[in-house]
Copies of this chain bind each other. A is one copy, B any other.
């Protein structure tokens, strides 16, 4: 029969296996970050190429596409590395479903590019296609963050996910603003969308800041403090305060695009640091757990001559003082004494305390992800059921929260609790 210590070792082994899985997932997340960055660039180049009826960015678009193809192969290779046959990847049900969705999008990319090359697609549809694919890739990152069982690594993944999401929203802002300037006229719908994207970005970067410390946060602050940000804010003001229907200077389109691009490239450098830090975190945690396991194993080996006697177990497990009664004197035990047995029980109890602390921290970290899920789903519900756009849905939730002096997530929860009364209201929206 297996002993208490063997189960303690088994628990440690599970922890190590979980950390090893996280290391693999973290590398996958790093690859996805690179692919998303290139798809964002390809989206921008394709948009200009289509918008100029092929006059501009023809060569640049092809170069971007070639880069994307290369990194796509790396991401697919990472997907292939995942343990799909055994059915034993923790969180595999959700992760694999997300990946199945993304692979559909990747399979369709060659056709998307062929149509863009033939100018056989409206710019808005090309942009929407890239955006959908990027959203699918980010959903894979979200799933990785949601299933991480180590709170420190989970924090790092939540920070990274929110940063990637904020960067994607910055990319969408770049595209929206470029379209608005290029149109030469202020458009109320685009202005509203612009404001929504700015606000959603701010939320993402706020969560990123809340979950990040030290050098990387300081580095991000220097990126935000550089010249681009002031220029960007000036252009945002021009864009968003122009009276609807009034003129916009189309010449500003390129300045806007360049300014946004420099900022986004700065973000990529932050993202790379986050991804690298995540990987070294996984390695450090794994090394630590392996060292613990070796200690436990050595201890187990030292016991191989026998097992603690029932008397020794009793002395430690049950012989505790009861409500003011004097504790019974520790009995003299044959074989393994109470001292040794005590140290095993201490290990079990230390483990139990550590697990509880980890579980508390994990709940706190996942709270940030859950709030996101709830808000996204409430938006999806309003979109599906009230025929609203994403911006309108978000605005309604936010205004309700402000007028009722409640948190956004509370209003979103209240919205979702109505879902069962609305026919067909459960939306299948991803993340």
Using a CB–CB distance below 8 Å, which chain A residues touch chain B? 1-18, 76-77, 79-80, 82, 84-90, 92-101, 103-105, 107-112, 114-115, 122, 124-125, 128-129, 132, 149, 307-311, 313-314, 316-318, 320, 322-323, 325, 328, 344-345, 348-353, 355-357, 359, 363, 370, 377, 389, 426, 428, 430
Q: Residue A97 contacts which of B11, B109, B308, B370 (CB distance < 8 angstroms)?
A: B11
- Is the Cβ of A100 less than 8 Å from the Cβ of B4? yes
- Is the Cβ of A14 less than 8 Å from the Cβ of B93? yes
**Residues of chain B lying within 8 A (CB to CB) of residue A84:** 2, 6-7, 9-10, 13
- Is the Cβ of A7 less than 8 Å from the Cβ of B351? no
Given contacts A17-B86, A93-B18, contact A112 B318 (CB under 8 A): yes
Min CB gap A308→B, angstroms: 7
Min CB gap A81→B, angstroms: 10
Q: From A8, which residue of chain B is reached at the shortest CB distance?
A: B100
Q: Residue A96 contacts which of B14, B103, B356, B357 (CB distance < 8 angstroms)?
A: B14
Q: Residue A128 contacts which of B94, B108, B322, B353 (CB distance < 8 angstroms)?
A: B322
**Residues of chain B lying within 8 A (CB to CB) of residue A149:** 93
**Residues of chain B lying within 8 A (CB to CB) of residue A90:** 90
Known contacts A3-B103, A7-B97; 7 additional CB pairs below 8 A are A11-B100, A108-B310, A111-B313, A124-B323, A124-B325, A132-B318, A353-B426
Task: Provide the bound-state CA to CA distance between A353 and B363, in Å.
Answer: 24
Number of this chain's copies in the assembly equals 2
**Residues of chain B lying within 8 A (CB to CB) of residue A428:** 349-350, 352-353, 356
Task: Provide the bound-state CA to CA distance between A132 and B10, in Å.
Answer: 23
**Residues of chain B lying within 8 A (CB to CB) of residue A2:** 79-80, 84, 103
Min CB gap A132→B, angstroms: 7
Central interface residue in A16, A99, A316, by most chain B CB within 10 Å: A99
**Residues of chain B lying within 8 A (CB to CB) of residue A103:** 2-4, 7
- Is the Cβ of B5 less than 8 Å from the Cβ of A314? no
- Is the Cβ of B88 less than 8 Å from the Cβ of A311? no
**Residues of chain B lying within 8 A (CB to CB) of residue A104:** 4, 313, 316-317, 344-345, 348
Q: From A82, which residue of chain B is reached at the shortest CB distance?
A: B10
- Is the Cβ of A14 less than 8 Å from the Cβ of B356? no
Min CB gap A326→B, angstroms: 11
Q: Residue A352 contacts which of B12, B97, B308, B348 (CB distance < 8 angstroms)?
A: B97
Q: From A320, which residue of chain B is reached at the shortest CB distance?
A: B128
Task: Provide the bound-state CA to CA distance between A408 and B328, in Å.
Answer: 38
Interface CB pairs A-B, < 8 A, 14? A4-B104, A8-B96, A10-B82, A11-B94, A11-B96, A11-B100, A15-B87, A17-B87, A101-B352, A107-B307, A124-B323, A128-B320, A352-B430, A356-B428
Task: Provide the bound-state CA to CA distance between A301 and B114, in Å.
Answer: 30
Q: Residue A94 contacts which of B76, B99, B129, B355 (CB distance < 8 angstroms)?
A: B355
Min CB gap A299→B, angstroms: 13
